[in-house]
Amino acid sequence: MNPALKNLLRPHYIDLQGYVSAGMESDKSAEKIFLNANENPYELPGLEGFNRYPEPQPKSLAAAYANAYGVKPDQIVMTRGADEAIVILTKLFCEPHKDAVLTCPPTFGMYGVDAKAMPADVLEVPLRKTDGTFTLDQKAIVNATFTPGQNIKLIYICSPNNPTGTSFPHDQIAEICRETEGQAAVILDETYAEFSSQGSMTSSLADHPNLIILRTLSKSYAMAGMRMGTFLSADTDFIALVKAKALDAYPLPRASVEAALHVLSDDIRPLAKANVAKLIEERNRILPLLQKSHYVKYTYPSDANFLLVKMNKAEEFVKFAAENNVIIRDFSTKPGTENCIRISIGTPEQNDVVLKLLNDFE
Ligand SMILES: *Cc1c(COP(=O)(O)O)cnc(C)c1O
């Protein structure tokens, strides 16, 4: 394993004996009688196959992900959504009461929540607001990482960032990886990469041994209900260690695996891609229309499937929309997004309802 990750792992993981499940021991594809996992042999109608535990990390699905993300199957850990990937990485790297993670708020809340559950400290290096957009404070991130006593193990960068919609330049993320190599791992959350113009950094994984990338089928593939995500690293020994020692026995539900294989198939993937293009088109259509409202002070540029909108009367508008059966997320009381709401991009008809509500709001 590359020292850039190995030296950051909580040391007991090196010698830990992971659980060996019945699913790992035997090849389920063969015609055999399976009496090794206390499964029930009687399948029920409409639920065929569900009597058997699923493969822990199905090879066919790893191949499909590898094809979609442009990596090798042994660079992938498959998880229950990107959310579970964050839990696993926190558990692997953060020694309770000793280590810390770094986040750049306003950003996704789960990085901090999972760290505090260890408990590990959360050091915040807020995004800077420059020229109507948000930027990473690269110097402050690197300085914090090298401050003695802070023990920062994970640097979370979300790009495009939730809730601001901002993409951070790949060059800059690459520099942060280089500058912190050996000291911390950079967890790049690319949940919204499919909606962005610069795309994913998966092709740079080999250049950065301390880079771990999170991907998910939830948003761009319309699969939030199936809970299917991944994390990716160039270090195949690290990936193998995670699979052997840090996962639940049967983490991926059979139905979710089947749905993921279906959505990544040649039949469905182009449809998902076309829908992403539609959402981007809608995002670009409604941005200037939102700005026409005198309640809208500013609409942040977005590379994701949502818009962060600074408003007069943000809280009141969210309430007004809810009264009219449109649910919008209020960010107005959170540091860095004062007076802001976040609107997910819907269908053209749904977006038109939002625009009409803004028009009717007073
Ligand atoms: C939605 C979201 C996630 C969670 O994704 P799941 O795969 O559904 O768990 C992770 N990160 C960010 C930034 C998100 O917005």
Q: By C-alpha distance, which of 205, 128, 194 is closest to 159?
A: 194
Q: Decide: 189 in ligand 1 pocket, CB within 6 A.
A: yes
83 alpha carbon – ligand 1 mean position (Å): 6
Whether omega before 106 lies within 30 degrees of 0, making that bond cis, reads yes
Looking at ligand 1, which residue's alpha carbon is closest to its atom 2?
A: 191
8 alpha carbon – ligand 1 mean position (Å): 24
Please report, in angstroms and rounded to a whole number, the separation of the first and last CA atoms in the chain.
Answer: 60
63 alpha carbon – ligand 1 mean position (Å): 22
Looking at ligand 1, which residue's alpha carbon is closest to its atom 7?
A: 81
81 alpha carbon – ligand 1 mean position (Å): 7
CA torsion, ordered 350, 353, 354, 356, to nearest 10 deg? 160
For residue 32, which phi and psi values (nearest 5 degrees)?
Answer: -135, 165
Q: What is the mean pLDDT of residues 187-215?
A: 98
Looking at ligand 1, which residue's alpha carbon is closest to its atom 11?
A: 191
Number of the ligand 1 atom closest to the C-alpha atom of 108 = 13
Q: Decide: 93 in ligand 1 pocket, CB within 6 A.
A: no
Number of the ligand 1 atom closest to the C-alpha atom of 86 = 10
pLDDT in tens, 7-17: 999 999 999 99
Distance of CA 210 to the CA centre of its chain: 17
Band the pLDDT of 356: cuts 50, 70, 90.
very high
Q: Decide: 108 in ligand 1 pocket, CB within 6 A.
A: yes
Number of the ligand 1 atom closest to the C-alpha atom of 79 = 7
257 alpha carbon – ligand 1 mean position (Å): 18
Q: In this structure, are residues 40 and 75 in contact, taking their beta carbons and an 8 Å threshold?
A: no
In this prediction, residue 192 carries a pLDDT of: 98
Q: Decide: 158 in ligand 1 pocket, CB within 6 A.
A: yes
Q: What is the mean pLDDT of residues 98-106?
A: 98
pLDDT in tens, 273-329: 999 999 999 999 999 999 999 999 999 999 999 999 999 999 999 999 999 999 999
Residue 298 carries which side chain, given as an amino acid letter? Y
In this prediction, residue 30 carries a pLDDT of: 66
340-344 and 306-311: which strand pairing? antiparallel
Band the pLDDT of 19: cuts 50, 70, 90.
confident
Residue 29 has pLDDT above 70, yes or no: no
Q: In this structure, are residues 68 and 240 in contact, taking their beta carbons and an 8 Å threshold?
A: no
- Separation CA 17–CA 230 (nearest Å): 23
Number of the ligand 1 atom closest to the C-alpha atom of 85 = 9
Q: Decide: 112 in ligand 1 pocket, CB within 6 A.
A: no
In this prediction, residue 308 carries a pLDDT of: 98
Band the pLDDT of 26: cuts 50, 70, 90.
low
Looking at ligand 1, which residue's alpha carbon is closest to its atom 10?
A: 82
- pTM of the predicted protein model: 0.97
Band the pLDDT of 27: cuts 50, 70, 90.
low
In this prediction, residue 265 carries a pLDDT of: 98
Domains of the chain with bracketed CATH: 3-21+56-263 (3.40.640.10), 277-360 (3.90.1150.10)
- Separation CA 89–CA 250 (nearest Å): 18
- Nearest 5°: CA angle at 294, between 292 and 298? 70
306 alpha carbon – ligand 1 mean position (Å): 13
Question: What tokens were used for 235?
Answer: 């270090």
Number of the ligand 1 atom closest to the C-alpha atom of 224 = 8
Q: Decide: 331 in ligand 1 pocket, CB within 6 A.
A: no
Whether omega before 45 lies within 30 degrees of 0, making that bond cis, reads no
